[in-house]
Amino acid sequence: MSNANPADEHEGTHGTTEREHARRAALLRRGFLLEYTTLGWNVIGIVILAITAVSARSVALAGFGLDSLIEIGASTVVIWELSGTSEARRRRALRLIAAAFALLAVYLVVQSSVVLATGYRPGHSTGGIVWTALTAAAMFALAAGKARTGAALGNPVLRSEGRVTLVDGILATAVLAGLVLNATLGWWWADPVAGYVLVFYAAREVRAILTD
């Protein structure tokens, strides 16, 4: 004969449910914080990259500025999705992120090819070097946080956008390398080549998002 008290069992189940709700609410708050931080960083970055890209006439900086614009859109999509999750909303959010990456890839292929074909030489950009170095560090940290939080929430949109942020960090590193090589060794072609690196990762992300 069992001595278990049904009231105690109910209280235990209720307590577990409350703890789970509290844990999920904390994870959602963390997800929002990560997205708002990414959003704010990239809004500032758009201004800095626009100035540096125009002054140096750099394809890589212009492309990275567009990538930051896409990251702003992706963060906005995730904030929208986290505010009211549904399967249909998730699918729309993922398609929007994939479409933005596809547009970026098309732009960079055309622009980098034109620059290489014409032999156009971009100028040096100290501001671009500093900003891309800072952005690489920030995006890698944010991407790690989104990956952990998205996995804990079981949210594929947050995980996918975390990959977008990781790509942003990788692209920042590639652009940084191109800018440094151009400034120190005069390798002008490193700038449009960095643009092609962005194309590769953008195309990779489109495929990953659409097949996820």
Tens-binned pLDDT, residue by residue, of the chain (212 aa): 555 555 555 555 666 688 888 888 888 889 899 989 999 999 999 999 999 888 888 877 887 888 788 788 778 877 877 776 566 766 777 777 778 778 777 877 877 787 777 776 777 888 889 999 999 999 999 999 999 998 888 877 788 778 878 878 888 888 888 888 888 888 888 777 877 877 887 787 777 777 76
Q: Are 55 and 65 in contact (CB under 8 A)?
A: no
Tell me the two tokens of residue 29. Answer: 């708050």
Give the angle 80-84-90 at the CA atoms, nearest 5°: 70
Classify residue 144 as exposed, middle or buried by CB count within 10 Å of its CB (0-12, 13-18, 19+). Answer: middle
**22/205 Cα distance (integer angstroms):** 33
Instruction: Give residue for tokens 């992120």.
Output: 97
Q: Are 91 and 158 in contact (CB under 8 A)?
A: no
Q: Are 181 and 60 in contact (CB under 8 A)?
A: no
